């Protein structure tokens, strides 16, 4: 298997954390939970076999996706298939970063996975054709960069407004366990309602939900770093003052109870292999 990442330069670096590419992946499982992290993901499938997104409540129901899609900011985990021989390239956006490439606010994509042709029309097909023709990971990354640069706009809002939202976002990313949203609003000097509306339009989630997800992500970081996990200690250090609240959030965002998650110890914390019988 080949796996590569690429971090773009400015101006894309304002919006994108990294590009990724893998080829000839043969996972030992058939499905996996993808856990929310407050971001958008652009994915181009370099194989022809359709991919499936399963209903959380009824795994016999699914949606089928082909060629390429955009996964918006999710408020819960999603369940996807894991096919042998997979090859894909994608873009992991920073929270709030994807909206500069879209013709709609981010909250229009909340809890949605949308095929790229429905977003960009024939331009999505052209992008995939160029990616298929490009030789090697670095050339594919270059093709993706050029496409995003051609789509980069500031149509959603004035630069000053975007800077305010990104400033608040960065504060939340660093201090999701302790920062009060009211304190951020006071520093920005705007109304609470206006801030929530603008944050949702840029990021796709309300500030409160975004912070809950970032706090959950801090839990995953701590679990990955510890050989032995004391859940009460992890919960307290990540800002949970009630064990029931901690367990509720963990199950909502992962679809698993904490002990099952730590028993499985997934290689990639946000991608949890699932036995279909579970």
The total number of structural domains that make up the chain: 1
The answer to whether residues 274 and 33 touch, using CB atoms and an 8 Å cutoff, is yes
Nearest to 109 by CA among 45, 168, 166, 38: 38
Position 183 in a domain? no
Range of the domain at 106: 2-151
d(CA 153, CA 130): 22
Tell me whether residue 88 is in a domain.
Answer: yes
**Predicted TM-score of the model (pTM):** 0.93
How far apart (Å, rounded) are the C-alpha atoms in residues 255 and 251? 5
Query: What CATH number should be reported for the domain holding residue 139?
Result: 2.60.120
**Per residue of the chain (278 residues), what is the pLDDT tens digit?**
899 999 999 999 999 999 999 999 999 999 999 999 999 999 999 999 999 999 998 888 999 999 999 999 999 999 999 999 999 999 999 999 999 999 899 999 999 999 999 999 999 999 999 999 999 999 999 999 999 999 986 554 556 778 889 999 999 998 877 778 888 888 888 899 999 999 999 999 999 999 999 999 999 999 998 888 899 999 998 989 888 999 999 999 999 999 999 888 888 999 999 875 55
CA atoms of 21 and 211, how far apart (whole Å): 29
């Amino acid at each position: 298997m080949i796996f590569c990442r690429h971090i773009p330069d400015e101006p894309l670096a304002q919006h994108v954390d990294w590009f990724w590419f893998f080829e000839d992946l043969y996972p030992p499982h058939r499905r996996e939970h993808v856990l929310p992290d407050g971001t958008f993901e652009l994915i181009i499938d370099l194989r022809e076999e359709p991919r499936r997104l399963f209903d959380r409540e009824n795994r016999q129901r699914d949606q089928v996706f082909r060629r390429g899609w955009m996964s918006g900011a999710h408020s819960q985990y999603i369940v996807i298939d894991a096919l042998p021989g997979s090859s894909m390239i994608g873009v992991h956006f920073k929270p709030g970063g994807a909206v500069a490439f879209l013709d709609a606010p981010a909250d229009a994509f909340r809890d949605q996975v949308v095929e790229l042709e429905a977003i960009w029309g024939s331009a999505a097909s052209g992008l995939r054709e160029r990616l298929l023709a490009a030789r090697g990971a670095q050339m594919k990354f270059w093709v993706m960069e050029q496409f995003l640069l051609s789509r980069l706009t500031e149509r959603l809002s004035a630069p000053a407004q975007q800077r305010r939202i990104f400033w608040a976002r960065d504060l939340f990313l660093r201090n999701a366990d302790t920062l009060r949203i009211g304190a951020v609003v006071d520093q920005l000097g705007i109304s609470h309602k206006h801030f929530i509306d603008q944050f949702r339009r840029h990021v796709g989630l309300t500030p409160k939900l975004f912070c809950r997800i970032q706090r959950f992500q801090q839990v995953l970081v701590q679990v990955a770093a510890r050989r032995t996990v004391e859940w009460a200690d992890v919960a307290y250090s990540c800002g949970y003052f009630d064990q029931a609240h901690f367990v509720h959030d963990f199950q909502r965002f992962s679809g698993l109870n904490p002990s099952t998650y730590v028993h499985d110890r997934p290689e990639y914390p946000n991608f949890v292999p699932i036995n279909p019988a579970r």
